[in-house]
Amino acid sequence: MDFIAGLLANRIVAAILVVIAVPAVLVGYIALIEAIVSRLGRRWSGAIRPWLWMAPALAFLGVFLVYPTIATIIRSFQNRRGDAFIGLDNFVWFFTRNDTLIALRNNAIWVVLLPLLVVGIGLLIAVLVDRVRYESVVKSIVFLPLAISFVAAGVIWRLMYDVDPKVGTLNATVKAAGGQPVTWLSSAPLNNVMLILVGVWMFTGFAMVILSAGLKGISTELLEAARVDGANEWRVFRSIILPLLAPTIAVVATTIVIYALKTFDIVFVMTNGNFDTDVIGFRMYKELFNNTQPGRAAAVAVVLLIAIIPVMFVNIRRFRQQEAVR
């Protein structure tokens, strides 16, 4: 045992083992159940086979998704130490405290502004760049921010917004134009918008790529027919492109809405929740780690879960409709 533990302590060896062992185990498992199922007669094998194939994935989901969700929901009804049930007290706390309500308000702003700006700008770029020769260059540049971590983006933009004109690009521009440096991050409510702009910078590439793919799926004959009939570009966009792109836009918008509800890193790195920029995700972190109040943190998580349910509902309905069309 010690030899294996020693071997695993070496990270390269551990990495190779994991990368080889996990697929090997999965393939071995599939081979095993195939061997078993093929023994069972036609009637049984048809019924059991799908479940056996899905078993590893279901087990994974069960342990890492279903169990924590149920445990968190139960925890949200318990007190700090976790040994007694206190009913809805944690939720009452959430909805009656000033600071948590500010966090809720801020998330509402994020949920409205972020998808609007991301989808709007993404769509604009996708449509404009569609008929230009250097399309892939522009798309690569716009997509690049998505490749970096949220924390890195937070650090970058924190420097950009810095109050000192020698450090902050924005204030350097303002000063060069003859103005006074603006405290972007500490002036409420402007600072919320500035944080959302960082999110826009990160996600526009994502929206643009997906909308561009959807755009290319619209048959050119349709567009040409409309142009031949005398429709100008704006009319073409409004009456043909938009309706046909509606499902794609919905998917992109719901993804961004989910992110807006979950946002944490940008706020954590840039303002740490100060100056009225707090968000729900950050409150959950604070309650758990700084204030050692796991019951309340669980309640915050449950509120977030409930907020996301309508969005998931829309997504699943959209998905079902697409399946039906197929």
Partner 1 sequence: MGHRSTAWRRLATVVVTAGLVVACSGGGGTASPGGSAAPTTGGASGAPPASGGSGGTGFQFEQLGGSVSVVGSWSGSEQDSFLAMVKPWEDGTGAKVNYTGSRDLSAQLTAGIASGTLPDLAGLPGPGLMKEWYGQGALKPLDFVDFNAYSSSTPAGFAELGQGDDGKLIGIFTKAAVKGLIFYNVKNWTDPAPATWDELTSAATGKVSGDEKVWCIGVESGAASGWPGTDWLEDIILRQSGPEVYDKWVKGEQKWTSPEIKQAWETFGDALDNSFGGPQYIVNTNFGKAANPMFDDPPGCLFHHQASFITDFFKNEAGAKDGDFDFFPFPDINASFTGSVTGGGDLFGMFNDTPQAQSLVKWLLTAEAQQIWVERGGFISGNKGVPLDKYPDESSKKSAEILQNAQTFRFDASDQFPGAMNDAFFKAVVSFAQDQSKLDSILSELDTVQADAYGG
Interacting residues with partner 1 (CB under 8 A) = 9, 11-12, 14-16, 18-20, 80, 97-98, 163, 183, 185-186, 268, 272, 274-275, 285-286, 288-293
- Least gap, CB of 306 to partner 1 (angstroms): 24
Nearer to partner 1, 45 or 183 (CB): 183
Count of positions (residues) in the chain: 326
Element holding 56 (H helix, E strand): helix 42-61
Contacting residues for 31 by C-beta, under 8 A, at least 6 apart: none
Residue 71 CB, nearest approach to partner 1 (Å) = 13
Name the token pair of 98: 């000033």
What is the CA 265 to chain-centroid distance, rounded? Answer: 12
Q: Supply the minimum distance, in Å, between the C-beta of residue 291 and partner 1.
A: 4
Task: Name the phi and psi angles at 85, rounded to 5.
Answer: -90, 135
* Spatial CA neighbour of 208 closest among 112, 129, 292, 268: 129
Which H, E and C letters describe 106-123, residue by residue?
HHHHHHHHHHHHHHHHHH
Shortest separation between residue 164's beta carbon and partner 1, angstroms: 9
Nearer to partner 1, 263 or 293 (CB): 293
Q: Which is nearer to partner 1, 16 or 36 (CB)?
A: 16
Give the nearest distance from C-beta 166 to partner 1 in angstroms.
12
Nearer to partner 1, 161 or 203 (CB): 161
Least CB distance to partner 1 at residue 25 (A): 15
If the CB atoms of residues 52 and 182 are measured against partner 1, the closer one turns out to be 182
31 burial type by CB count under 10 A (0-12 exposed, 13-18 middle, 19+ buried): exposed
Query: Would residue 97 be called left, alpha or beta, if left means φ above 0 and alpha means ψ between -120 and 50 degrees?
Result: beta
Half-sphere exposure of 32 (CA within 13 A, CB side): 7
> Whose Cβ is closer to partner 1: residue 291's or residue 321's?
291
Q: Indicate the residue among 4 and 309 with the shorter CB distance to partner 1.
A: 4
- Distance of alpha carbon 31 from alpha carbon 221, whole angstroms: 49
Kindly tell me the burial class for residue 314, based on how many C-beta atoms sit within 10 Å of its own C-beta (0-12, 13-18, 19 or more): middle
> Minimum distance from CB of 132 to partner 1 (Å)?
34
